[in-house]
Amino acid sequence: MDLMLKGKTAIITGGSVGIGLAVAEALAAEGVDLALCARNEERLSAAGEGIRKAHGVRVLTSPTDVTNPNDIEALAQQIEKEFGGADILINNAGTGSEEKIMDAPDDKWQYYWDLHVMAAVRMSRAVVPLMRKRGGGAIINNASICAKQPLGYEPIYNTTKAALVMFSKCLANELVGENIRVNTINPGLVLTPDWWKTAGILSEKEGITAEEYLDRIAKENAPIGRFASPEEVAKFFVFLCSPAASYCVGSTYYVDGGWLRVVD
């Protein structure tokens, strides 16, 4: 299938590792120029360099903390200068949490609200004018299955990701008339380096290997019995932000190996 993406420009927050990097690689393979942001400059530059070498596309890497409104403004200005406009925005930067509601302080709630919700609000406000210059675009918000089916140990993550899904729906309604499609993807278990790190720590305590730990998590949760690779999930992102998905608007798509236990 021709995804009609060659020559487009995509912005990916958290594009230096994990799902964001896999989406960046997959878009670059389709001939898409990229603007990638994350906080760790060294890891981000290395990711950008790897993609440039492998795919020959233009890659702007910009150290950015998406919880900081000034950083987002500066990023948008850089993108406008470098590319003149933008076609695709993937709001992906995010991370899990661990707390009890009764113990977590306000500033922790505020941080995750800024990271998962306000970053998407501010990135959209900054990037939509660049999409208008191209006559339209696509925005994908990477939430999580936890937006619908909460995990017990991370109520702040669950709550802020649920808010991101509603933001995405509202934005879709606001922008559909301008040929800008907004959708959400809710991944399930995706085997990123962060999971390996967690598994390394927790498996040691139990006297099992990281592989055994991850295998148990997968079998206990996802009917498919395994984690997704970031590359598997990235393929769906690429389809959804391509013109091939032209009738997909304001929806939430699960890529979760059957983990969601309700019909949605």
Q: How far is the CB of 81 from ligand NDP (least distance, A)?
A: 20
Rounded Cα gap, residues 83 and 95, in angstroms: 29
**Tokens encoding 142:** 């990477």
Q: How far is the CB of 100 from ligand NDP (least distance, A)?
A: 20
- Catalogue the active-site residues: 157
Residue with tokens 């994350």: 38
CB nearer to ligand NDP: give 46 or 179. Answer: 46
Q: How far is the CB of 190 from ligand NDP (least distance, A)?
A: 4
Q: How far is the CB of 184 from ligand NDP (least distance, A)?
A: 11
The answer to whether the CB of 91 falls within 8 A of the CB of 167 is no
CB nearer to ligand NDP: give 137 or 188. Answer: 188
Question: What Rg do the C-alpha atoms of the chain give, in angstroms?
Answer: 18
| β-pairing verdict for 180-187 and 88-91 | unpaired
Q: How many CB atoms lie within 10 A of CB 53?
A: 9
Cα 127 versus chain centre, distance: 16
Rounded Cα gap, residues 82 and 76, in angstroms: 10
CB nearer to ligand NDP: give 6 or 108. Answer: 108
Map residue 238 onto helix, strand or coil: helix
CB nearer to ligand NDP: give 123 or 175. Answer: 123
State the first-to-last Cα distance of the chain, in angstroms, to the nearest integer: 28
CB nearer to ligand NDP: give 176 or 201. Answer: 201
The answer to whether the CB of 14 falls within 8 A of the CB of 93 is yes
Contact residues: ligand NDP, CB under 6 A: 13-14, 16-20, 37-40, 43, 64-67, 92-95, 115, 142, 144, 187, 189-190, 192-194
The answer to whether the CB of 192 falls within 8 A of the CB of 19 is yes
Cα 176 versus chain centre, distance: 21
Q: How far is the CB of 17 from ligand NDP (least distance, A)?
A: 5
